[in-house]
Amino acid sequence: MVCVLLAALLAITGCSGKREVDSELVVTGSTTILPIAEIAGEMYHEIHLDRKILVSGLGSSAGIENVATGTSDIGTSSRDLKPAEEDLGLYDTPIAYDAIVVIVNPTNPVDELTTEQVRAIFAGEIENWSELGGEDRDIGLVNRDEASGTREAFHKIVMGDVPFDRTAAVLPGTGQVRSVVENARGAVGYISLGFVNEDVKVVKVDGVVPTAETVVSGEYPLQRLLHFFTVGPPEGLAADYIEFVLSDQVQQTVVRDAGFTPISGEVE
């Protein structure tokens, strides 16, 4: 907590304080990536007690701006660079995939949807499963709360400018979405790929079954990359920290636990 505050303070004041160059690393940006960056930072600090990773979540745009202006060493982002940001000379290191799957009740005969259909369902335009080749049953929409990173990702990837149907049930957790979809025959919801279990049925989107392989190959459409941006290729402490985040030690534990799909590949 103190780290976060301190990092936020540094970000705001433009790191006016004196700090030793190679012992502290300021990481700001996406709140989605915050848990990974923070827990990995703590693990890294435990290994290298003389090095401290200061992590804060200010949003992806703030992360990109801060790293570009030199306020932070690494800017984290859950979206790609916008055209206006491409000239900033930022170096992109993808650290994980965020894939979102659409889940329905196991008894639901519908097992394939297009991205357009998913959008229409969550916009409230399609209200009955019979319109999708299923049974004559009302669709029970299950949405996440607005503080959710999954909702934010789903909104950006699937919905675009189309607003969510506001009559949908809003649940404050992945576990609740899963258990409601498990129990209600007409329900449909979305969760991160990492949280799928046997109790719910995962729907193919645009004909692709979401798995770690189809996500990594890019075939599965409802996904985004989580990025670490640096000014030029990472060096020194930043390179070491990024390498640590990309190591199996973080990828197979922290990244998976946060519901994301580990990225295969080494830092170059």
Q: H or E element: which one contains 74?
A: strand 74-77
16 contributes a contact to another protein by CB under 8 A: no
CA atoms within 13 A on the CB side of 179: 6
Site string (78-117) toward another protein, x via CB under 8 A: ----------------------------------------
The answer to whether the CB of 37 falls within 8 A of the CB of 245 is: yes
Distance (Å, whole) CA 226 – CA 149: 12
Can residue 183 be called a binding residue for another protein (CB under 8 A)? yes
- The correct pick among 22, 86, 145, 199 for binding another protein (CB under 8 A) is 145
Q: Which one of residues 61, 114, 176, 249 is an interface residue with another protein (CB under 8 A)?
A: 176
Q: What is the 3-state secondary structure (H, E, C) of 132-149?
A: HCCCCCECEEEEECCCCH
Count of residues of this chain found to bind another protein when the rule CB under 8 A is applied: 22
Q: How far is the CB of 169 from another protein (least distance, A)?
A: 4
Q: Which of 48, 185, 204, 256 binds another protein (CB under 8 A)?
A: 185
Nearer to another protein, 137 or 204 (CB): 137
Q: Does 57 bind another protein (CB under 8 A)?
A: no
Q: Does 138 bind another protein (CB under 8 A)?
A: yes
CB of 23 to another protein, least distance (A): 33
Stretch that binds another protein, among 20-28, 60-68, 106-114, 139-147 (CB under 8 A): 139-147
Number of H helices, E strands in the chain: 10, 12
Q: Is 146 a residue that touches another protein (CB under 8 A)?
A: yes
Minimum CB separation of residue 194 from another protein in Å reads 22
3-class DSSP assignment, residue 209: coil
**Crossing angle, helix 34-47 and helix 2-13, to 10 degrees?**
110
Q: Which long-range contacts (CB under 8 A, 24 or more apart) does 9-13 make?
A: 10/54, 10/71, 10/72, 11/56, 11/58, 11/62, 11/66, 11/71, 11/72
| Token representation of residue 112 | 């394939």
Smaller CB separation from another protein, 184 or 212: 184
> Would you give the binding string for another protein spanning residues 187-206, x where CB under 8 A is met?
x-------------------
- Residue written as token pair 């930072």: 41
Q: Which of residues 154-173 bind another protein (CB under 8 A)?
A: 163, 166-172
% helix, strand, coil for the chain, step of 5: 40, 25, 35
Residues that bind another protein (CB under 8 A): 137-138, 140, 142, 145-147, 163, 166-172, 176, 180, 183-187
